[in-house]
Structure 1
């Protein structure tokens, strides 16, 4: 019974949202408002600036990534060796080596977290640079085509309202 009530509320909310969107669209058409849409993820993935960003980040972080992978492999090998040799070791030696492995594993996890944080931070910084340039290009496109509103990430986009490829072309032509 409660599920039916919840489902009904969702349906009413959806109808209200669609009605509002339709009213906004009618208003926009009546007012002569021109709307365009850009897919920012496509810009961040397919523009030359984005490809250069990916190459820079890869060059910047590949050595650290390889070092982390090598460290993980060494810890795994040491753990396997400890498992094989544990039966013939005295208890004090086994405990000491287990602690060493645990310390090495904690250190590796710390370095992996730092790596992830650094990579995320640098990716954010690089994407912000691309976004800044893309916003300038969007403003130019809006002025040239007399577009009043440019929206990011619409649920549906008519090909004639999509300016994503034009933004990518303009970004690619920047020096």
Structure 2
């Protein structure tokens, strides 16, 4: 069995405790705060995009009403014609046609809704692509090494909020965005089994 002297053991422990001191220290945090809600609601490109996206949504709602009203009228007429009894062949054909029209209307509206969601995501992507380098520039100008959203803070001191600087630079760098997303990539055709 190997015996260690007290001095050797203390020296080894001293090195173990001293090693963190030898590690490189992180620089002190210099923080800036950005109100991202304000950026996304007040930037010029954001306001224009939100107006156009709202128009797309209003158009979708109008189309839903245009499709829904005649379908509801036909459903009511079929219910009245059935009178609580089993439908005859002619009435069953009307029911089948109504179901086909309902399915087509639902599919049309679902496709339009997906398009609006893609457009909204595309707008956000364009803004974020422009915003990230701007935040880095503002951080560098302020000597900051950390940026945080105002919603993640409990309190901030004066001069820490750089939202106005970010907004001004974003309005210059990104005067507008495209609100029409490129079409999704085509899905590969699945071979049909036998």
Scaled by the length of structure 1, the TM-score of the pair is: 0.69
Deviations 1:108-140 (A, max 9, x none): 111122112111111111111111222232122
Give the equivalent residue in structure 2 for 1:91: 88
Does 2:139 align with 1:142?
yes
Moved more, 135-144 or 60-69: 60-69
Give the equivalent residue in structure 1 for 2:44: 48
- 3-state SS of the aligned residue for 1:114? helix
Give the equivalent residue in structure 1 for 2:178: none
CA distance in 2, matches of 1:57, 1:68: 17
Aligned residues of 1:37 and 1:154 also touching (Cα < 8 A): no
CA distance in 2, matches of 1:157, 1:38: 13
Aligned residues of 2:71 and 2:98 also touching (Cα < 8 A): yes
The size of the alignment, in residue pairs, is 147
Distance 1:85 1:149, change over 3 A: same
Which residue, 71, 81, 84 being the options, matches 2:67? 71
Does 2:170 align with 1:171?
yes
Which residue, 155, 158, 171 being the options, matches 2:156? 158
Give the equivalent residue in structure 1 for 2:17: none
Aligned residues of 2:56 and 2:116 also touching (Cα < 8 A): no
Moved more, 51-60 or 125-134: 51-60
More helix by share: 1
Pairing 1:30-49 to 2, within 5 Å after superposition = 31-49=27-45
Q: Gaps (5+ residues) in structure 1? A: 1-26
CA distance in 1, matches of 2:165, 2:70: 49
